[in-house]
Amino acid sequence: MRTTVGIIGAGPAGLLLARLLHNAGIESVVLESRDRAYVERRQRAGILEQGTVEVLRAAGAERMDREGLRHDGIELRFDRRRHRVDFPALTGGKSVMVYAQTEVCKDLIALQLKEGGPLLFEAEALAVEGAETDHPRVRFRHKGVEDVLECDYVVGCDGFWGVARAAVPAGRSSTFERTYPFGWLGILADVPPSHDELVYARHDRGFALLSMRSPSVSRLYLQVPADTDADGWSDEEIWTELERRFETDDDWTLRRGPITQKSVTPMRSYVHEPMRHGRLFLAGDAAHIVPPTGAKGLNLAVGDVVTFVRALTHRRETGSAELLDAYSATCLRRVWQAERFSYDMTTLLHRAPDATPFEDRLQLARLERIASSRAAETDLAEAYTGFPIG
């Protein structure tokens, strides 16, 4: 098999990349180790920055405009108080959209199968070879049979546990990492969201988040110890704990409903530098992970693949490799801003197991500062609605 761009992984990064390349008239092949049903069901975040919405709209994901929910703010909840951050007022008109990653993936898969290049499910990449030559290859196994995909470029969109990153020699790369002593217990519940915007709550018992998937489905999270087994929490215990952490001085109440899904997500910050080695490019979770508190994971993946397609198009139109050479540095500037923001949001809102009373007071002072200073609030709103790509 031969193609121009070999793409490993059919998460949001790989699927969007294939779509953008198709629209630019560039051939690609996508190799995905799991089956289609698995990729379409995997629960992940669901907040799209305005720039992400624009990219997906231009790529043809039109169901998003019909079913996605535009959000003009979030609520911060602390000390039994509520503070709304108004995005358009603070950012000159920007907003975000609630549209689940599962739906983004379903839309992009349908488009790719209808009119794009090959998208092979159950095709596991085994290794990337020849990244330093003009003809990199991906060795893979499709439904039990080994094969080789010959490419001009390979893009590793294979997530944190993928194989692409391993093709960068250890001596040529650096990693930066932080793990957190807590995770998120996430639930999906068949009940209309109890608030029309997301609620991020800081509580002495730990962080809680109210989000949603649609006007009739709520998505809620609780901070739990890192090694928590989701099945160890009964539905009753989950609702009681959520109620406690969202408590306010006014008459706000949390609506309960049947829980249809429960799982625990670990929290990690991670960056691999550089994001390019020869003709191998890394994009999305293959190169970086953020804790989910800032809702940046999917949005970073979109920025990476847009940057790659711009650079490759530039190369084909002008003959200049300047933008391809700048790919890693261009992406990493935005990546580190998202790392900073995600870390700040995480440490602002979570209670570490060894938190001291001094640190508790500092958290409240940081929240108070956001609630009372337009400058501090603008900093949050700008980061949440997204930094420009490139």
Confirm whether 200 is a catalytic residue: yes
Residue closest to 343 by CA, chosen among 381, 385, 290 = 290
Write the single-letter amino acid at 12: P
Confirm whether 225 is a catalytic residue: no
Per DSSP, the residues of 127-167 read: EEE-TTSSS-EEEEEETTEEEEEE-SEEEE---TT-SGGGG
Nearer to ligand APR, 75 or 158 (CB): 158
Distance in Å, CB of 301 to ligand APR, minimum: 4
CB contact at 8 A, 203 and 245: yes
Please tell me whether residue 52 binds ligand PHB under the rule CB under 6 A.
Answer: no
Nearer to ligand APR, 7 or 238 (CB): 7
Please tell me whether residue 345 binds ligand APR under the rule CB under 6 A.
Answer: no
Q: Which stretch binds ligand APR (CB under 6 A): 28-36, 51-59, 200-208, 379-387?
A: 28-36
Confirm whether 71 is a catalytic residue: yes
Nearer to ligand PHB, 30 or 47 (CB): 47
Token pair for 46: 């669901």
Distance in Å, CB of 215 to ligand APR, minimum: 23
Nearer to ligand PHB, 295 or 309 (CB): 295
39 binds, among ligand PHB, ligand APR, none (CB under 5 to 8 A by kind): ligand APR
> 195, 288, 296, 350: which is the annotated catalytic residue?
296
32 binds, among ligand APR, ligand PHB, none (CB under 5 to 8 A by kind): ligand APR
Place of tokens 């940057």: 307
The residue count for binding ligand APR (CB under 6 A) is 29
Within residues 291-310, the interface with ligand APR by CB under 6 A covers 297-298, 301
Percent helix / strand / coil, the chain, rounded to 5: 40, 30, 30
Query: Residue from 75, 107, 158, 273 that binds ligand APR (CB under 6 A)?
Result: 158
Distance in Å, CB of 57 to ligand APR, minimum: 19
Cis peptide bond N-terminal to 136, omega within 30 = no
Max Cα-Cα span within the chain: 65
Distance in Å, CB of 140 to ligand PHB, minimum: 31
Please tell me whether residue 285 binds ligand APR under the rule CB under 6 A.
Answer: yes
Whole-Å CA distances, 292 to 61, 82, 349, 376: 24, 21, 12, 21
Per DSSP, the residues of 345-356 read: HHHHH---TT--
Token pair for 171: 């001596």
Please tell me whether residue 51 binds ligand APR under the rule CB under 6 A.
Answer: no
Query: Residue from 18, 125, 187, 295 that binds ligand PHB (CB under 6 A)?
Result: 295
Confirm whether 221 is a catalytic residue: no
Per DSSP, the residues of 269-290 read: EEEEE-SEETTEEE-GGGTEE-
- Go through 5-30 and write b for each residue having 16 or more CB atoms within 10 A of its CB, e for each that does not: bbbbbbbbbbbbbbbbbbeeebbbbb
CB contact at 8 A, 312 and 324: yes
Please tell me whether residue 219 binds ligand PHB under the rule CB under 6 A.
Answer: yes
Q: CA torsion 235→240→242→243, rounded to 10°? A: 140
> 180, 200, 221, 327: which is the annotated catalytic residue?
200
Residue closest to 57 by CA, chosen among 26, 21, 94, 97 = 97
Please tell me whether residue 218 binds ligand PHB under the rule CB under 6 A.
Answer: no
The residue count for binding ligand PHB (CB under 6 A) is 9
Confirm whether 153 is a catalytic residue: no
Whole-Å CA distances, 16 to 113, 122, 172, 236: 13, 19, 28, 39
Query: Residue from 50, 211, 307, 385 that binds ligand PHB (CB under 6 A)?
Result: 211
Nearer to ligand PHB, 150 or 190 (CB): 190
Catalogue the active-site residues.
Answer: 71, 200, 292, 296, 384
**Interface contacts to ligand PHB, rule CB under 6 A:** 45-47, 198, 211, 219, 292-293, 295
**Interface contacts to ligand APR, rule CB under 6 A:** 8-14, 31-34, 39, 44-45, 101, 124-125, 157-159, 161-163, 284-286, 297-298, 301
